[in-house]
Structure 1
Amino acid sequence: MAILVTGSTGTIGMQVLNHLAGHDVEVRALTRSPGNAQFPAGITPVRGDLADLESVRAALEGVNTLFLLVPNVADELTQAMLTLTAAREAGVKGIVYLSVLKGEAYADVPHFAGKYTVERMIEALDLPATILRPAYFIQNDVRLKDPLSKFGVYGMPIGGKGVSMVDIRDIGEAAAIELLRRERAPAPLGRETYALVGPDSLTGTSIAAIWSEALGRAISYGGDDLVTMESRLKATMPAWHALDLRLMIGRYQSDGAVASADDIARLTKLLGRAPRSYRDFAKDAAAQWLKG
């Protein structure tokens, strides 16, 4: 039997595959273009698309364990629910679902509300699943290199309430640990839920201070202007997606997304070490940027 990884060519999917490689289990990666995919050694590309249910059904043949990552698309909820239905009908014995931190609380943020609905489906049908709830990805801030380096500004308007940002490598490792545990179990395991978070409560001002230290120059926080952020995002994505992300950042500003001590302790136990910090990420990124 095998593990099937969806979202395999994306940032998180590749992290999951990297952490699964070399563990003496069959791993398949769902992709629309198997011939173009570049995966770690031993990973088998499988043609499929979560928007094409029949391709999902075909890809699930012979699969024991599923990593379900659904991209932020307009029909994300439908894709997730139908894929779970197909997995259930195919006899999949273990699921690891990538949800989001604060999904139950941010009811006005479409992709948060959708992911929490999927969690409710998992609970209602008593599916053998691990639900992973990541906070904002630390590596999203790689895209802020130019304003940081050229203008001395940290431009993500996350506000002052605090966000426990998570390193994508910790997401991939946590997912792989749970996929392997479920794949190797002789029978389906009970449900588990983990918050995937970093060790620090980060604000716009505190992150600017971290970058000041890492880059050796004064970095200021660009402020809480959400309208400008949405306008900027619309240049590279559909308007609905830009608004969805603006609503998310707006809730960060008004409510924050801070992990509890128990959240951090549970993740530390799962990983066997403390989660990675934003400061370490910034230090490494700054060193790479300075090298050109």
Structure 2
Amino acid sequence: MAAPPTVAVFGASGNQGGSVAKALLKDGTFKVRAITRKPRKREAKELKRLGAEIVKADLDNEKSLFDALKNVYGVFLVTNYWEYMDIDREVQQGKRVADISNHLGVKHIVFSGLENVRKLTNGKLDVPHFDGKGQIEEYFRELGAPMTSVRMPDYFENFLDVFRPVKSDKGYYVLDIPMGGVPMDGMSVKDLGGVVLAILKSPENFIGKDIGLSTDKLTIEEYADVMSRHTGKTIRDSKISIKDFEELKFPGAQELAKMFQFYMSQPDRNKDLTLMLNPEAQSFEEWMSRNKNAFMNV
């Protein structure tokens, strides 16, 4: 009996890669080669305990990538613009993996991509953490590589971090998210793994496609209402404008404001397809019911 094919999972000790690695390990169809720069991290050690092969490699180091990708059937690739906030570096990292995968004959790459907003809007709007991933998608296509792009929406987990409710001077909490009443797609990053697993198991249906993911599409007021109901706190949409959001005092505020402008155009995110690929993926209501305690210190 032949050994299961191996899938190399980049960012395996992070949110997206960790979700993918765990889903593949639980299913058992594929062996998992967990790629990380930090094999001693707690998350990497846990993946090893679950049966993953842990391999140290760096997206900036070509030799380490050659070694990491030898004899694999598939690859899950995620790049991280926010680590260096350098679009050129991110694009080069993605191209490096594309070239090496192509050279080694990898049969299927699932890339965590996004739209090239600058190209789509003829330069009227640029969102570097989207645009770089869009350029990487385009490069895979130019190579003729067997790639599927999965485009994540806003993570539900962002409500615990960068978009967490803040207390107003009137005593209630507000969500400072400038969507102007337009619904925004969302999804838990933990549910990505089940989607990627399904795609890898049906390459004939998904190679060459860009798949926009979503498990819910709510206005900010609706997100706030769900959060209020589960936490017992009064949480509202602050109705902040794009201009005022740009002036918030945190790194990346202007970048995120442009992202929300793009979200207002309703980019293609397919809830029905997402749930077909991963029937266990959570709605925001379900996610809040499981994570409400994390909001107690908000």
Assess, with a 3 A threshold, how the Cα gap between structure 1 residues 167 and 102 changes in structure 2: closer, same or farther.
Answer: farther
The amino acid of 1:265's aligned partner reads D
Assess, with a 3 A threshold, how the Cα gap between structure 1 residues 282 and 158 changes in structure 2: closer, same or farther.
Answer: farther
Query: 1:99: Cα distance to partner?
Result: 0.8
TM-score for the superposition, normalised by structure 2: 0.81
Assess, with a 3 A threshold, how the Cα gap between structure 1 residues 286 and 145 changes in structure 2: closer, same or farther.
Answer: farther
- The one-character-per-residue Cα deviations of 1:124-160 (angstroms, maximum 9, x if unpaired) are 2221121111111111111255626984222333332
Quick check: 1:135–1:257 contact (8 Å CA) kept in 2? no
- Give the equivalent residue in structure 1 for 2:212: 195
Query: 1:9: Cα distance to partner?
Result: 1.5
Greater shift, 134-143 or 275-284, is seen at 275-284
- The one-character-per-residue Cα deviations of 1:243-286 (angstroms, maximum 9, x if unpaired) are 3223212333x424463xxx223223222x27421122223222
Assess, with a 3 A threshold, how the Cα gap between structure 1 residues 189 and 197 changes in structure 2: closer, same or farther.
Answer: closer
Query: 1:224: Cα distance to partner?
Result: 2.1
Alignment partners' CA distance in 1, 2:94 and 2:266: 26
Greater shift, 102-111 or 219-228, is seen at 102-111
Higher relative CO (CA 8 A, sep ≥ 6), structure 1 or 2?
Answer: 1
Alignment partners' CA distance in 1, 2:196 and 2:39: 23
- Give the equivalent residue in structure 2 for 1:17: 21
- Give the equivalent residue in structure 2 for 1:237: none
Residue from 174, 183, 189 that aligns with 1:153: 174
Quick check: 2:184–2:220 contact (8 Å CA) kept in 1? no
Gaps spanning 5+ residues in structure 1: where?
235-240
Alignment partners' CA distance in 2, 1:38 and 1:159: 44
SS of 1:247's equivalent? Answer: helix
SS of 1:108's equivalent? Answer: coil
- Give the equivalent residue in structure 1 for 2:141: 123
Alignment partners' CA distance in 2, 1:243 and 1:102: 17
TM-score for the superposition, normalised by structure 1: 0.82
State the Cα RMSD in Å: 2.9
Query: 1:180: Cα distance to partner?
Result: 4.2
The amino acid of 1:219's aligned partner reads I
Q: 1:41-190, aligned counterparts within 5 Å?
A: 41-72=50-81, 73=84, 74=86, 75-100=89-114, 103=117, 105=120, 108-143=126-161, 144-145=163-164, 147=166, 151-182=172-203, 190=207
The amino acid of 1:168's aligned partner reads V
The amino acid of 2:255's aligned partner reads D
Assess, with a 3 A threshold, how the Cα gap between structure 1 residues 124 and 11 changes in structure 2: closer, same or farther.
Answer: same
Gaps spanning 5+ residues in structure 2: where?
none
Alignment partners' CA distance in 2, 1:25 and 1:69: 19
Count of residue pairs brought into register by the alignment: 276
Residue from 253, 259, 282 that aligns with 1:276: 282
Alignment partners' CA distance in 2, 1:242 and 1:87: 35
Alignment partners' CA distance in 2, 1:265 and 1:290: 32
- Give the equivalent residue in structure 2 for 1:211: 227
Query: 1:61: Cα distance to partner?
Result: 1.3
Assess, with a 3 A threshold, how the Cα gap between structure 1 residues 156 and 118 changes in structure 2: closer, same or farther.
Answer: same
Alignment partners' CA distance in 1, 2:183 and 2:229: 19
- The one-character-per-residue Cα deviations of 1:11-40 (angstroms, maximum 9, x if unpaired) are 111111110113153211111122333333
Percent identity (aligned): 24
The amino acid of 1:39's aligned partner reads E
Alignment partners' CA distance in 1, 2:296 and 2:109: 41
Q: Does 1:3 align with 2:14?
A: no
Query: 1:108: Cα distance to partner?
Result: 1.3
Quick check: 1:163–1:257 contact (8 Å CA) kept in 2? no
Alignment partners' CA distance in 1, 2:199 and 2:132: 23
Quick check: 1:152–1:218 contact (8 Å CA) kept in 2? yes
